[in-house]
Amino acid sequence: MEQESNLKHYIPDYRGTLPDRRLEVRAEKLSRQLSLKPSSSIRSLSKTPAEHKGNLRFLNNERVQEEALIKEASERVRQLVTDRHLLVVTDTCEVNMSGHKGRLKPNSGLGKSDKSETSHCFKVHPGMVLDAISLNPLGYSWIKIFHRNEQIPDRNERNYKKQPIEEKESYKWIEVAEKSKEVLSGAASVTFIEDREGDIL
C-alpha cells in the first residue's frame, strides 16, 4: 500500500536539526521565501534590509551545516516511500557565480567551472525521487554539494586511472546512489536513472 502524501512532507521542518531554535526558525522562513521566488537573489527575496542581513548571517553561520539541511530533506522523503515503486533521477548541475567575481572571498567553497579555469562555481549532484506510477516528484533522497579544486593536477599528473574510486569526482554517482538506497529502503523498488557518465562500475 502506498504511503499517503501529506502537505507536511513538502514543507521543511528544521526542529531538532540545527544548534538552536533561532536558526531553525530562520531556515524555515528562508525556505518559504525561496519556494515562492526560487530564482531570486537573497537581496531580492528579503522584504527588509534587516531580513536581508539576517538571511546572510544564517547562510554564513559556521554552525549551519549543509548536511543537516540535506538530511532534513531526505527524511521527509523517507516518510513517503513505503511500498512505492520509485525512480531516482541523478545528474550534476553547476551553480555559476561568475557574475559576483569581484565580491567573492578566498576559501568561499567555490571551484573551477567546466567551461573556465577560474574559481567561481560549485556543483550539486542530487537524487530526485519520483513515484514510478504517477511520476509525481516526492523530493530528494540525497544531495551532494562539492566544488572542483582550482589547484587540482590534471588527469595524467594524478594518475587518474589508478586512483581509488572514492577519490575521483565520478564517485558522486556511487555516493548519492548508496545514500539514496538507505533513505529509500522501505520502497517496493528503486530504479536509478543516470546518463552514461554514471556507468562507472
We report the CATH number of the domain holding residue 114 as 3.90.350.10
Say if 99 falls within a structural domain. Answer: yes
Helices (H), 19-166: 21-36, 42-45, 49-60, 66-78
Say if 78 falls within a structural domain. Answer: no
Query: Which pLDDT tens digit goes with each residue over 80-98?
Result: 999 999 999 999 998 888 7
Specify the DSSP element, H or E, that contains 154.
none
Say if 60 falls within a structural domain. Answer: no
Query: Which pLDDT tens digit goes with each residue over 1-10?
Result: 345 557 777 8
Say if 108 falls within a structural domain. Answer: yes
Which range marks the domain in which residue 137 is found?
84-194
What pTM was estimated for this model as a whole?
Answer: 0.84
Say if 117 falls within a structural domain. Answer: yes
CB distance 77 to 87 below 8 Å: no
Say if 7 falls within a structural domain. Answer: no
Number of structural domains found in the chain: 1
Residue 194: half-sphere exposure toward Cβ, Cα within 13 Å = 19
Say if 73 falls within a structural domain. Answer: no
Query: Which pLDDT tens digit goes with each residue over 47-62?
Result: 999 999 999 999 999 9
